[in-house]
Amino acid sequence: MSALPQPVLVIGTGLIGTSLALALRRCGVVVLLEDRDPAALAVAVQRGAGVAAVPGDTAPGLVVVAVPPAATAAVVGQALDRFPTAVVTDVASVKVPVLRALLAAGQPVDRYVGGHPMAGREVSGPAAARADLLDDRAWVVTPHPGAADRAVAVVQELALAVRALPVLMPPEEHDRAVALVSHAPQVLSSLLAARLLDSSETAVSIAGQGLRDMTRIAASDPSLWVEILAANAAKVGDVLAAVRDDLDRLLAALEVADGTGATVLVDALRRGNAGRQRVPGKHGARPAPTVELPVAVPDAPGELGRLFAAVAAAGVSVEDVRIEHVLGRPTGVVEIAVAQPAAEPLAAALRDGGWEVRG
């Protein structure tokens, strides 16, 4: 049972709306559902996400708008009109345009606080929804100067009720943050991957883990991403323009790479080192230094299980893991990242156990 004002009305029973509703039902919250598509609504009801709202319902204490980005501001505005005492929030992935539209329309934004649960999936629709979609995910809650303290508290409570981790951030800061850590990386991954279209099969065949990592998110859905980029165009543009300026300097340096340019190149690489150290590790905090141990693992069922059982038997906690992909042969190297002090003892223990720890 949760301290949320009830019932909660979820408008929009797509993937996020339905998953959220299922998560609220999981902790006993009364959930009303609306969707302009009766078929989507029926699926959500059938999944157990709540009941379809009808005119005689008790007025909701909280309304969550989970409709596509372009429709969000209008639906939030209608909800503020329809339910004069309810707190209203939304889940759009860009926050400033929603708030700006509400202010321009003269809406009472004291009861509105936006949010952004950070749980993208490559699927959509209520059939793909799951009660645990938001478990352990960051949910950015974006208070603004006109918001009532209670509204902020209710939206934080919503995030906690569905087992997400609320992070407070003003709308401007949120949009700048996602431009930097999510939207600009998406664009750079896509542009790099697009360069591969011009290359020979052989050239691509010698690619290693670096290229694989750099192009993974290039597989994302274009129709979703064009909406996100359009909604956050100015801030994404700021980050990418800075990258473009750095790239121009670097291109100039490459033309004189043996001489004066080398300083520019080294500086860019060093700044990259420093920036990378700011990326959070396994526990969200500043990462402790880790070491990667490459272990050869036969490509047979059970070998990964044997390996991680051996790691556990050595009493070592795994910080990260990735499989090295190797040209033309079904033999893999698994890179196990562990805290620096654990690396040497683990390597010794694995070798004692007959594992081939490399290089």
Q: Considering only residues 296 through 335, tell me which ones interact with its own copies, judged by CB under 8 A.
A: 296, 299, 301-313, 315-323, 325-333
Which parts of 197-226 interact with its own copies (CB under 8 A)?
197, 199-200, 202-208, 210-220, 222-223, 225-226
- The three-class DSSP label of residue 251 is helix
In the complex with its own copies, the residue whose CB is nearer, 54 or 104, is 104
Number of shown-chain residues binding its own copies (CB under 8 A): 142
Query: Residue 159 CB, nearest distance to its own copies (Å)?
Result: 12
| Measured torsion, CA atoms of residues 186, 188, 193, 199, in degrees rounded to the nearest 10 | 170
> By rule CB under 8 A, what string of x and - marks binding of each residue 272-291 to its own copies?
xxxxxxxxxxxxxx------
Please give the full DSSP string across 274-309, using - where no structure is assigned.
HHHTTS--TTSSSPPPEEEEEEEEESSTTHHHHHHH
CB 129 within 8 A of CB 49: yes
Binding to its own copies by residue 58, rule CB under 8 A?
no
Closest by Cα among 119, 137, 141 to 64: 141
Binding of its own copies by 269 (CB under 8 A): yes
Q: Restricting to residues 135-194, which ones interact with its own copies according to CB under 8 A?
A: 135-138, 140, 165, 167, 169, 173, 176-178, 180-182, 184-194
The H-or-E segment that residue 41 falls in is helix 38-46
Nearest residue (CB) to its own copies, 138 versus 153: 138
* Dihedral sign for Cα atoms in the order 17, 19, 24, 30: positive
- Under rule CB under 8 A, residue 127 binds its own copies: no
Record the tokens describing residue 258, joined without a space. 């043996």
CB 61 → its own copies: shortest distance, Å? Answer: 27
Task: For its own copies, give the closer residue by CB, 5 or 120.
Answer: 120
Q: Which of 52, 101, 160, 233 binds its own copies (CB under 8 A)?
A: 233
* Beta strand extents in 159-263 (DSSP E only): 165-168
Task: Single out the residue of 239, 295, 349, 350 in contact with its own copies (rule: CB under 8 A).
Answer: 239
Q: Which residues contact 263 (CB under 8 A, 6 or more apart)?
A: 253
